[in-house]
Structure 1
């Protein structure tokens, strides 16, 4: 992007942002980052070092657990279920049992309601399985699942498991659980609806460990979630973003658990209903529990510990609760085991009401994937194509079902363009790390085109260009390695790694690397929407290295600052060129760091492309850790346009580069911040 120095047409300065008292630093426990490629490297998303999955494997089958289920232990590198096996769809109990008990890995899609006979039967599950409901259609009625000793690497996801209840509230005769685990390890229980069972909804027993329970709805039950049945304090569990509603006890109860990390859960007991809570979260025996940023509403005895347990409590909200609410002792620091990000406790009820339980985007995609296409790319010829662009070329124009391009590890020196007439494309690396699959080229704005028709220009220099809606990229490195030092005579050093000019673009687990103008987030036209969601990624550059007119959220990522080609430290993180009436860039829950001089980088400046005074550039940086590289006055003018006439603000940032609100450093008020969150940026699109 070129900076224009022509005479600008100034607008009246707006005063929507205010300065005031410093706001609270984001709650403890946010993501902690190291140097580039550290925190989000190979160990962050464990993947088996296997050949690319068969063509039938749906994209979500690559999802791996977070929390303690992601930790490498007992010979198991995280939890990824049946990802390396075939995908099968089942509609009968016989087929479900056939594949659940098989020795081979499977992704088992439950595509309807399966009644368990006899009632209360717990289907035995073998290792290396993913059992997932097809959208919201997968129901297991009258029974559940059992994982025995030594069973490992199992995902149970997106199912409704219900109605084994036998009419006795405190049932002592029927040990019929939705999910029972006796001595299993590396289990991920995610996005399920568990309710109305004869005994527990989840029982994690007999030294079952490395379990993550996330984004589930648990309701209408007595003994909800019990953990223990052992004298050994060896189990490690993460329990986050679960909605406990109208459950009497064990929410959860943890007995002799070495490390129990509970965060962002919602425990709700409404008055006047037939179920009244006995207690909420309970730590007993030699349990060490950390309980963070959860919300307790109307619960009796919300937090209980016995004298031998340790329970550290922080950031929780208690509304209308009564009775015991206890803490004490020394527990542990979850961040020494894995990375995680906390949502605000006040946001938890709304977050879980909309996000917990089965989702239509999971499981149901299996049918679309089978009906669409899977294209494999490998440098060594083992895939169908040897270049990424050849695979893109093979996608039919106007395709209505998702085409997934799976790229084997290797370095692909090429440029890639996904044209506007090929929506619904996913490009994903199949390596164990985003560093394994690299797409790289070295065009710059001033590089002459081979056909002699001129130079590429900034947008045309992109190594990877996305012009098609509903695009996804994941587990890749996209780089522009143009050498500025060796090309000083070239007119135009802007060198884009990744350019998007489309709507509903999902970028996950990427490294996007360059120098000047690394990441161009654009739209197909000034009047066209262009929403982008980038998460769990690294973006590396120096001058205006995140720029454009898209409506973009950069979440839980690292923005790494680089020195210029001559070793100097100076630059700008963002250069938005937002159209009036639209959202610009939202950087949230990120870290901005890099090996550069202190106070040498601005967070942003307004890019009025072509000198267009009607544009209204916007960057908001919130809940983000800022290194000492950020200038005390983090915003600056550009091309004769004052940043103060546009929309630049911070909210609840921390770190040595953060600063309180003042005239040259505007902060959002709490009220303003409620309308500058991810959902406000993405609207009806929920990636």
Structure 2
């Protein structure tokens, strides 16, 4: 398993980048690890934000690495984290724990508890930065439950613009507060990296022109891109539009996904739609997999108008009809009952 180092994750750490928020009229607060801003830790920046905000509270994050678990409470709404570096790699917010990592009381953290960043506040936005889980699988052979989440979302109307998500198993957990509750998240020009089920959950999540990169685990199967657990009452699960699905893994060793039924919930009828995207050769002729006793054919898994060496059309690769595709565009997934439309969202053409 490839090991991540802080040097590989970030650049520019330790450089002074100016003055606190008072000198930046478009920022409400500046986070800087070197002490040149208003606060030095990501959690302190979240804690400083007002509760119940209806307009964005903008936190500028200067280049550096910010270690430690971060939790955005439900009452902290409309927070924006804005990376102030030249690229998303200049700002890294990360932690280091897995499902099986033990808490101080000797019990495991579990999958949700492993998250480096947990977002419970609605209207959260992140731009131009990196979220990572630094758990090193090779260094901890004693830990068998290796799910290590970089970001867990439970809130509605979230936007991630030019953000990197780095981990191995279970990188990005897009969830909601309860089964049957719809929570929407929009990812634009993002990079998501992992191996097993690394984009998963019951949220409505749209990936627009993102790169989805499967790591090479050195085994077969090499992993699964998605593990949707969309509630049966929700017509909109995971949508990938104009994305690039890439990997260094051998041809045909990665699956597009498998349907996850948390606690064997029969109403978790997962949906993943991949459309108008480029798919690498790591995806084979059979692109979907059963999840235990749950057959993939009973889930809502489909493709439409994809290209690339892994975009095969076979009996095991369900395709949307044109009319179905016309009703499965980005606005259809995000609109909801309140006509939400992120200002950076783009319609498929």
Query: Does the 8 Å contact 1:575/1:606 carry over to 2?
Result: yes
Q: Say which SS state the counterpart of residue 656 (structure 1) adopts.
A: coil
Q: Could you say what the CA RMSD is over the residues aligned between the two structures, in angstroms?
A: 2.0
Report runs of 4+ in structure 1 exceeding 3 Å deviation.
49-57, 566-569
Matches within 5 A, 1:108-507: 374-450=28-104, 452=105, 454-507=107-160
Structure 1 residue 569: Cα displacement: 6.0
Query: Does the 8 Å contact 2:131/2:165 carry over to 1?
Result: yes
User: Structure 1 residue 577 and structure 2 residue 232: aligned?
Assistant: no
Instruction: Give the alignment's TM-score, normalised by structure 2.
Output: 0.89
Query: Does the 8 Å contact 2:57/2:80 carry over to 1?
Result: yes
User: Structure 1 residue 669 and structure 2 residue 321: aligned?
Assistant: yes
Count of aligned residue pairs for this structure pair: 325
1:531 alignment counterpart: 184
Query: Does the 8 Å contact 2:154/2:174 carry over to 1?
Result: yes
Query: Does the 8 Å contact 1:556/1:588 carry over to 2?
Result: yes
Structure 1 residue 639: Cα displacement: 2.0
Say if 1:390 and 1:615 are closer, same or farther in 2 by CA, change over 3 A.
same
1:614 alignment counterpart: 267
Q: Say which SS state the counterpart of residue 487 (structure 1) adopts.
A: coil
Structure 1 residue 568: Cα displacement: 6.2
Say if 1:635 and 1:568 are closer, same or farther in 2 by CA, change over 3 A.
closer
Measure, in 2, the Cα distance between the counterparts of 1:430 and 1:628: 36
Query: Does the 8 Å contact 1:52/1:430 carry over to 2?
Result: no
Query: Does the 8 Å contact 1:562/1:569 carry over to 2?
Result: no
Structure 1 residue 453: Cα displacement: 5.8
User: Structure 1 residue 686 and structure 2 residue 341: aligned?
Assistant: yes
Say if 1:500 and 1:665 are closer, same or farther in 2 by CA, change over 3 A.
same
Q: Say which SS state the counterpart of residue 401 (structure 1) adopts.
A: coil
2:247 alignment counterpart: 594
Q: Say which SS state the counterpart of residue 499 (structure 1) adopts.
A: strand
Structure 1 residue 54: Cα displacement: 5.1
Structure 1 residue 528: Cα displacement: 1.8
Instruction: Give the alignment's TM-score, normalised by structure 1.
Output: 0.46
Query: Does the 8 Å contact 2:17/2:36 carry over to 1?
Result: no
Structure 1 residue 55: Cα displacement: 4.6
Measure, in 1, the Cα distance between the counterparts of 2:308 and 2:269: 29
Measure, in 2, the Cα distance between the counterparts of 1:630 and 1:492: 26
Q: Say which SS state the counterpart of residue 129 (structure 2) adopts.
A: strand
Measure, in 2, the Cα distance between the counterparts of 1:514 and 1:483: 9
1:264 alignment counterpart: none
Q: Say which SS state the counterpart of residue 28 (structure 2) adopts.
A: strand
Structure 1 residue 442: Cα displacement: 1.1
Q: Deviations over 1:148-199 (max 9, x none)?
A: xxxxxxxxxxxxxxxxxxxxxxxxxxxxxxxxxxxxxxxxxxxxxxxxxxxx
User: Structure 1 residue 656 and structure 2 residue 309: aligned?
Assistant: yes
Matches within 5 A, 1:37-48: none
Structure 1 residue 616: Cα displacement: 1.4
Matches within 5 A, 1:553-568: 553-564=206-217
Measure, in 1, the Cα distance between the counterparts of 2:272 and 2:185: 14
Query: Does the 8 Å contact 1:523/1:530 carry over to 2?
Result: yes
Q: Deviations over 1:345-368 (max 9, x none)?
A: xxxxxxxxxxxxxxxxxxxxxxxx
Measure, in 2, the Cα distance between the counterparts of 1:491 and 1:581: 34
Measure, in 1, the Cα distance between the counterparts of 2:34 and 2:264: 48
Structure whose alpha-carbon radius of gyration is higher:
1
Say if 1:384 and 1:616 are closer, same or farther in 2 by CA, change over 3 A.
same
Measure, in 2, the Cα distance between the counterparts of 1:545 and 1:433: 23
Say if 1:53 and 1:677 are closer, same or farther in 2 by CA, change over 3 A.
farther
Structure 1 residue 402: Cα displacement: 2.1
Measure, in 1, the Cα distance between the counterparts of 2:45 and 2:184: 25
Measure, in 1, the Cα distance between the counterparts of 2:201 and 2:83: 26
2:170 alignment counterpart: 517
Query: Does the 8 Å contact 1:636/1:642 carry over to 2?
Result: yes
